C-alpha cells in the first residue's frame, strides 16, 4: 500500500471523528474483536477504518515494518514471513490487530525474552480523542502511557516495529512435570538457555503439567498439520517431540482457540469433518460467543438444567516465585482445566505506567477461558472475583480485555494514575473517551 492511500484513510477517520456530535460514543468500526466485554457499545456504529489494515513499508535489511494500526497479525505475518522475518511477539490469535496488541494485551512464547508487543514499537502515530494526529517515540509520555490504555488515550493508526529473523520450521519438545513446583523450577532454568527460541506450556491439572520448548530448525523433514483433524493441545500429551512450519507454529492455537472450540463440538471426531476448515478460527468462535451472549441460549439451557454457569475468561500475570502456589490454589478453587502457561519478562528497563512489570523480573502468564458451574448460593461473578483475590494475594495483576470487578481505589493501586491522568488531560481534555477504569470495569465494579 502506498503512503498516500494510508494518509487518505487517516484523513477519513479524522473527519468522521470530528463530525461526531458532542457526547457521542467514539469507537472504531473494526470487523472483529478479541475483547470479552459485551454491551451496548458493540452495537454503536463505528468510525471508518478501511485502509488502515495494510503494510505501508517493509525494510528487510533494517528488520522493520511500517503498518496501519488495524492490520491483523495474520496479514502482518503473511507480509513478513517471505522475508524470513516476524514480529518479535506474535499473539496467539490471527485477528488480534497490531494497534490492539499495543494498546491492550499481546503475549506468546517469545515473550520470555522479547517481552510484550509494545516493547518492539519504534514509533507510532496516535489519533487522540481531541482529534490531533501525534507522532510519538519512546521518550514521549503518550507513547509510555499507551500500552494497556485500551483506546482511552486514542488510536494507533500507524506503527513502525522491529522484526526478528526466523527459520523455516520450529522443532518442539514437550516436557512433562508432575507438580507445579517442579514445572516452575524447570522454567526458571530456561530463560538463559541460548538453544531455546520459544517457551510456553499447559497445565492439565496439579499433577500433569507440560512445558513446550521450541527452536528454529531449517533441516528438511516432515511437519505436523493441526489445521485438519488433529488438535494441537491434545498432541502435547500424546508425543514428546513435534515439528511445525513457522507459519503453522505461530497459529497452532488459533485453529481451536486453544481448546475452546470443544464448546462448539468442533473437536468431536464426527462433527469436525463437517465443520468447514476456513471456519476453524478463533474469530468465528468469538462471534458465536457474542451471538450467544445476545440471545442467551446458554443461560436458558443452564436454567432448564437447574443450574448456573459463570464465564471465566482471563489472563493473569504472576511473579515466577509465586507461580506454583498460584497454580495449585487456582486448581483447588476454580474448576477450569486446562490452563495455558506463558513466561514473560520485560525486554528492557523502560517505564510503562499502565504495564508496571518490574524490569527484568520473570513472570508467568496464566490463561483460562471456559465456564464453570456455580454453587447454588454463589453470586453470578463468584469465580471471577476469586481469581482477582488470588492474583492480589500472589502479587500479580490481570489483563483487562474481559470482566473486571475491582473498585476504583483497588484498581488504581496497580497502575500509575498520576502519569495516566497527565496524558489524559493533555490529549483528551473534554473526556471524549472514557477513562480507563470506567471503560474496563463499568457495571462490574463494586461501588
> Is 18 in a helix, a strand, or coil?
helix
Cα–Cα distance measured from residue 256 to residue 1, given in angstroms and rounded to the nearest whole number: 32
Domain, as residue range, for 45:
3-166
Residue 149 lies in a domain: yes
Residue 126 lies in a domain: yes
Residue 199 lies in a domain: no
What pTM was estimated for this model as a whole?
A: 0.94
Q: Give which of 203, 165, 175, 158 is closest to 49, Cα–Cα.
A: 158
In our burial notation (b when 16+ CB lie closer than 10 A, e otherwise), range 183-213 reads: bbeebeeeeeeeebbbbbbbbbebebbbbbb
Other C-beta atoms lying within 10 Å of the C-beta of residue 25: 13
Q: Give which of 420, 297, 294 is closest to 352, Cα–Cα.
A: 420
Residue 90 lies in a domain: yes
Q: What Rg, from alpha-carbon coordinates, does the chain have? A: 21
**pLDDT of the chain along its 447 residues, tens only?**
579 999 999 999 999 999 998 888 888 888 777 676 655 445 556 899 999 999 999 999 999 999 999 999 999 999 999 999 999 999 999 999 999 999 998 999 999 999 999 999 999 999 999 999 999 999 999 999 999 999 999 999 999 999 999 999 999 999 999 999 999 999 999 998 999 999 999 999 999 999 999 999 999 999 999 999 999 999 999 999 999 999 999 999 999 999 999 999 999 999 999 999 999 999 999 999 888 777 876 666 566 566 899 999 999 999 999 999 999 999 999 999 999 999 999 999 999 999 999 999 999 999 999 999 999 999 999 999 999 999 999 999 999 999 999 999 999 999 999 999 999 999 999 999 999 999 999 755 443
Backbone angles phi, psi at 374, to 5 degrees: -80, 140
Whichever domain contains 161, its CATH number is 3.30.465.10
Residue 426 lies in a domain: no
Residue 62 lies in a domain: yes
Residue 33 lies in a domain: yes
Residue 162 lies in a domain: yes
Q: How many domains does the chain have?
A: 1
Amino acid at each position: 500500500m502506498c503512503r498516500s492511500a494510508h494518509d487518505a484513510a487517516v484523513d477519513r477517520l479524522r473527519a468522521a471523528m470530528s463530525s461526531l456530535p458532542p457526547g457521542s460514543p467514539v469507537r472504531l468500526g473494526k470487523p472483529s474483536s478479541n475483547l470479552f466485554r459485551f454491551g451496548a457499545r458493540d452495537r454503536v456504529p463505528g468510525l471508518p477504518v478501511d485502509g488502515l489494515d495494510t503494510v505501508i513499508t517493509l525494510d528487510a535489511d533494517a528488520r522493520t515494518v511500517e503498518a496501519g494500526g488495524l492490520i491483523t497479525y495474520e496479514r502482518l505475518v503473511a507480509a513478513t514471513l517471505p522475508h524470513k522475518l516476524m514480529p518479535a511477539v506474535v499473539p496467539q490469535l490471527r485477528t488480534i490487530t497490531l494497534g490492539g496488541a499495543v494498546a491492550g494485551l499481546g503475549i506468546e512464547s517469545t515473550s520470555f525474552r522479547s517481552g510484550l508487543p509494545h516493547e518492539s514499537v519504534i514509533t507510532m502515530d496516535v489519533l487522540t480523542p481531541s482529534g490531533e494526529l501525534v507522532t510519538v517515540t519512546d521518550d514521549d509520555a503518550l507513547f509510555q502511557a499507551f500500552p494497556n490504555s485500551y483506546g482511552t488515550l486514542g488510536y494507533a493508526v500507524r506503527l513502525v516495529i522491529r522484526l526478528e529473523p526466523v527459520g523455516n520450521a520450529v522443532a518442539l519438545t514437550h516436557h512433562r512435570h508432575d507438580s507445579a513446583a517442579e514445572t516452575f523450577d524447570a522454567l526458571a532454568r530456561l530463560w538463559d538457555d541460548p538453544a531455546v527460541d520459544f517457551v510456553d506450556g499447559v497445565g492439565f491439572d496439579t499433577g500433569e503439567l507440560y512445558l513446550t520448548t521450541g527452536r528454529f530448525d531449517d533441516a528438511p523433514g516432515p511437519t505436523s498439520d493441526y489445521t485438519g483433524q488433529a488438535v494441537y493441545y491434545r498432541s502435547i500429551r500424546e508425543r514428546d517431540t513435534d515439528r511445525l512450519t513457522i507459519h503453522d507454529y505461530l497459529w497452532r492455537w488459533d485453529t481451536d482457540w486453544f481448546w475452546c472450540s470443544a464448546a462448539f463440538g468442533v473437536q468431536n471426531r464426527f462433527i469436525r469433518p463437517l465443520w468447514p476448515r476456513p471456519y476453524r478460527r478463533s474469530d468465528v468462535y468469538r462471534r458465536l460467543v457474542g451471538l450467544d451472549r445476545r440471545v442467551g441460549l446458554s443461560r436458558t439451557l443452564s436454567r432448564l438444567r437447574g443450574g448456573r454457569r459463570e464465564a471465566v475468561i482471563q489472563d493473569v500475570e504472576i511473579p515466577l516465585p509465586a507461580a506454583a502456589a498460584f497454580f495449585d490454589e487456582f486448581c483447588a478453587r476454580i474448576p477450569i482445566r486446562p490452563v495455558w502457561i506463558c513466561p514473560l519478562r520485560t525486554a528492557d528497563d523502560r517505564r510503562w505506567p499502565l504495564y508496571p512489570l518490574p524490569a527484568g523480573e520473570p513472570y508467568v502468564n496464566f490463561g483460562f477461558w471456559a465456564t464453570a458451574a456455580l454453587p447454588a448460593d454463589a453470586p453470578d461473578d463468584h469465580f471471577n472475583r476469586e481469581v482477582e483475590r488470588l492474583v492480589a494475594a500472589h502479587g500479580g495483576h490481570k489483563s483487562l480485555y474481559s470482566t473486571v470487578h475491582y473498585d476504583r481505589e483497588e484498581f488504581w493501586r496497580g497502575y500509575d494514575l498520576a502519569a495516566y491522568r497527565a496524558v489524559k488531560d493533555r490529549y483528551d481534555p473534554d473526556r471524549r473517551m472514557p477513562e480507563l477504569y470506567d471503560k474496563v470495569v463499568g457495571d462490574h465494579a463494586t461501588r
